[in-house]
Amino acid sequence: MRIPTRICYQTLSAIGFLALWQVAATAADSPLLPGPVAVGRVMGDALASGELVHQLGITLARVAASFVLAMTIGTAIGIAMGRSRVVDRLFDTWLIILLNIPALVVIILAYVWVGLVEAAVILAVSVNKIPNVVVTMREGARSLDPDTLEMAQSFRLSRGRNLRHVVLPQLYPFMAASARSGLALIWKIVLVAELLGRSDGIGFQLNLFFQLFDVAGILAYAFAFIIVVQILEVGVLQPIERRVNRWRR
């Protein structure tokens, strides 16, 4: 599909969604289901007062820190497990346990053990995401092409060069996949952690609006974040992906 046509469809689809929402809101005629216009107005006010940008910034910083931490540690562990059968067997059970602990339990335990501090949030969110990264990266490390690895070995490439030129380029698609699903998962968990134990950030704001039954506020903050994540996807992830894939035909 040509790009202009695609944008055209996307715009049409978004307008359709908003229209449906407005119709439902008009029909319900209740403060519990405000329409897109009302939500937009709240968003505009929060933007003008600087409150939205401030809270968004705090939450984004937490998302970024957890994201970087989870991707780095998860990738390292994933490669180790994918390349070594011993490591894989030793830690496979740990991985299954970590994969299945509810996010909420990790957050509560982190607050109990570490305290109601910033480090607890970053820790809890990373621990939630790391096992997913490990599973994806392990799959990638298992599927490394033995031919190019042998080439690297016979030409005695240093560890660093082997990683940078031979191993990592084969793992980029797996990294992109776990980055994409990671971004979506992490920001949702950050909100829960904020709601439970922080006095700022979007999650804290949502809790406030919940106590006031301010649905327009809740939707305004949620949509603001969805827009930011979309911008990250289109403005950061996709260009990086295009760059590392330019060798493909």
Tokens of 156: 């005695």
Q: How far apart are CA 10 and CA 13, in angstroms?
A: 5
Tokens of 47: 């933007």
**CA separation (Å) from 86 to 143, 167, 243?**
17, 20, 35
Which among 29-37, 56-64, 88-96, 148-156 is the span making contact with another protein, rule CB under 8 A?
148-156
Q: How far is the CB of 158 from another protein (least distance, A)?
A: 8
CB 195 within 8 A of CB 55: no
Q: How far is the CB of 171 from another protein (least distance, A)?
A: 11
Q: Which is nearer to another protein, 6 or 165 (CB)?
A: 165
Size of the site for another protein (CB under 8 A): 18
115 binds another protein (CB under 8 A): no
CA dihedral (59, 60, 63, 68) positive or negative: negative
What would the x/- binding string for another protein be over residues 177 to 216, using CB under 8 A?
----------------------------------------
Q: How far is the CB of 37 from another protein (least distance, A)?
A: 49
Which among 2-10, 119-127, 149-157, 230-238 is the span making contact with another protein, rule CB under 8 A?
149-157
Q: How far apart are CA 229 and CA 187, in angstroms?
A: 9
Q: How far is the CB of 155 from another protein (least distance, A)?
A: 4
Interaction residues for another protein, span 150-169 (CB under 8 A): 150-151, 153-158, 161, 165-166, 169
Choose among 62, 73, 192: nearest CA to 119: 62
Q: How far is the CB of 140 from another protein (least distance, A)?
A: 14
Burial class (CB in 10 A: 0-12, 13-18, 19+), 244: middle
247 binds another protein (CB under 8 A): yes
Q: Which residues contact 35 (CB under 8 A, 6 or more apart)?
A: 21, 22, 24, 25, 26
- The footprint of another protein (CB under 8 A) covers 147-148, 150-151, 153-158, 161, 165-166, 169, 244, 247-249
